[in-house]
Amino acid sequence: MSEIIENPAPLQTQFLPSKFVDREDEHAVLQASFSNITETGSRNLHIYGPRGTGKTHLTHSVLEETPSQVNTCYVLCSHHDTEYKALKRIYEEITNEEINTGYHVSDLQRKIEERTGAIDTVIVLDEVDFLLQNDGDSLLYYLSRHENKEKLSIITISPNQSELPVEERTKSSLQPQQVVFPQYTGEEMYELLRQRAEDSLTPRSVHQNALTYIASKTSNAKIGLHLLHTAAENTDDFIDEELIKEVQEQAYQRYANELLEPFTQHHKRVYQTIEELVEENEGEVIQSGKIYTRYQELCKAYKEDSLSQRRISDYLKHLENLNLIEADYHYGGTKGKTREIQLGI
DNA sequence: TATCCACCGGAAAAGGAGGACT
DNA sequence: AGTCCTCCTTTTCCGGTGGATA
């Protein structure tokens, strides 16, 4: 380990800081909703804001503060992207019991109702886009009509949708209060990174220009932390702007790996394909067909079967949800019906 | 004017894992 | 044990798009 790192934990993106930079208002709203003392009447929240603004972190830390008689469950919908999987997860979180597969969705619903009853319950659906895309809003509709809905708080989190793309009937029974997490400003990023550096690195090992540079480059706290952490690992005396520039690519790679870690090998392979194509074509946009053929070649090189084009089309959508790529949709025209794809950031 | 381009994305179907029921 | 479920993943099929081209 590098000599300037005294305590690596605060530099890690999963680290929950004891205090957040400029999130007091959001904190209060979350707390109110979780403890059933809302002024607006609705206990449901929709949390919206770009990646790396602390949505998940703040939610987790408020979940930890909730009294133990409240049922809490956190569902990561990029993993649990069907009603069935999410319900299974909810049941297991509430009861701490494993549950076998083979049940009907309505069986799971009944089991959950038996176990929640009149108990206050908070259900967090993070990365809710994945669930809605893959399985529609049936889970949200069910939860919003839950028989003990006065006791239930539904928290949805999305970096892409300021309003939930759900059917009218779901919207009207859910009526979530919207909570917006604004992008960190340069000063906030600076302060956030300064605090983490203070808790983690030897005194005076970080030059001010390094933090200023990071803050000017990104407002995504996760990326910022990866930059700082990677830089710290690559020096034994100090971090300055030059060093940050050197480790930039490596740090971004780590960020992407972290996001893709829970996904399949094929997701990673598709992303790798796009990275290669972007490098070769120097910023030119890439069409989805090109990506598919290249992905097939890559699979062949690894002696693995490739998935169908239809499937990869969905996977591209996943990468887009993760904001790792940006896609421009063309429906017809010179290029036919296709997506033009660039790397996010 | 007809056809082509080069995909999108919904629908259905195939095949498989794991239970429930008799 | 055998049949009939359920849900999951992936493939197959296909209608649709609107400017370019013959």
* Averaged pLDDT in 10-residue chunks for chain A of 345 residues: 88 92 92 69 88 96 90 94 95 86 87 86 96 94 86 94 93 94 97 96 95 97 97 95 96 96 95 93 84 95 94 96 92 70 76
Q: Which residue has the tokens 């003392």?
A: A37
CA distance A289 to A29: 45
Full strand arrangement of the beta sheet holding A286-287:
A286-287, A338-343, A325-330
Q: Which pLDDT score, from 0 to 100, does residue A118 have?
A: 81
Q: Is the CB of A334 under 7 A from strand C?
A: yes
Give A201's strand partners: A5
Please name the residues in contact with A168: beta carbons below 8 A apart, sequence gap of 6 or more. none
| Bases of chain C within 7 A of a CB of the protein | 5-14, 16-20
Torsion A50-A52-A55-A56 (CA) sign: positive
Q: What global pTM score does this model have?
A: 0.93
Q: Which pLDDT score, from 0 to 100, does residue A38 have?
A: 56
AA letter at A167: E
Q: Which residue has the tokens 């259900």?
A: A123
Q: Which pLDDT score, from 0 to 100, does residue A7 have?
A: 94
Q: Which pLDDT score, from 0 to 100, does residue A41 have?
A: 57
- With CA of A334 and C1' of each nucleotide, the nearest comes out as C19
CA distance A51 to A158: 9
- With CA of A314 and C1' of each nucleotide, the nearest comes out as B9
In chain A, residues 247 through 266 whose Cβ sits under 7 angstroms from any atom of nucleic acid strand C: 264
Q: Which pLDDT score, from 0 to 100, does residue A331 have?
A: 79
